[in-house]
């Protein structure tokens, strides 16, 4: 699995409930299209978060980079219904920081022939 991370803060005046509603709508659309496997939303607890990354953390799981690229291509069309769902979430957040990680070890990895 590849894990696409988005760390962010909410814009002033945005409620947690609004965030959850818009996030659920957007993620449900992507999942229904087969463009993501699942997602998870977390929040820093008791202020123990990475200050430079905001209070909120969205993790989107995809099978591989091909699926992630398909999701990006779908969103890049800027057509409805994905445009409205993406804007609905994106308009609520500020200071996003993005990262991409993978499960380790990779399922295709062989052992014993490594050169480094």
**pTM, whole model, 2 decimals?**
0.90
DSSP 67-93: HHHHHHHHHHT--TTHHHHHHHHHTTE
- Beta-bridged to residue 41, according to DSSP, are 58
Of 65, 64, 62, 66, nearest to 30 by C-alpha is: 62
State mean pLDDT over 51-71. Answer: 95
Q: How far apart are CA 116 and CA 107, in angstroms?
A: 19
Query: Domain-by-domain residue ranges, the chain?
Result: 2-102
Give the tens place of pLDDT for each residue, 1-30. Answer: 999 999 999 999 999 999 999 999 999 999
Domain 2-102 indexed as CATH 3.40.50.2300: no
């Amino acid at each position: 699995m590849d894990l696409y991370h988005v760390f962010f803060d909410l814009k002033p005046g945005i409620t947690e409930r609004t965030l959850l509603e818009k996030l659920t709508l957007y993620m449900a659309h992507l999942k229904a299209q087969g463009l993501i496997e699942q997602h998870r939303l977390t929040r820093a607890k008791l202020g123990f978060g990475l200050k430079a990354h905001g209070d909120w953390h969205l993790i989107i799981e995809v099978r591989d980079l091909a699926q992630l690229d398909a999701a990006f291509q779908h969103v890049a069309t800027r057509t409805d219904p994905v445009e409205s769902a993406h804007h609905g979430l994106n308009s609520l957040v500020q200071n996003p920081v993005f990262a991409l990680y993978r499960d380790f070890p990779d399922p295709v990895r062989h052992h014993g022939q490594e050169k480094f």
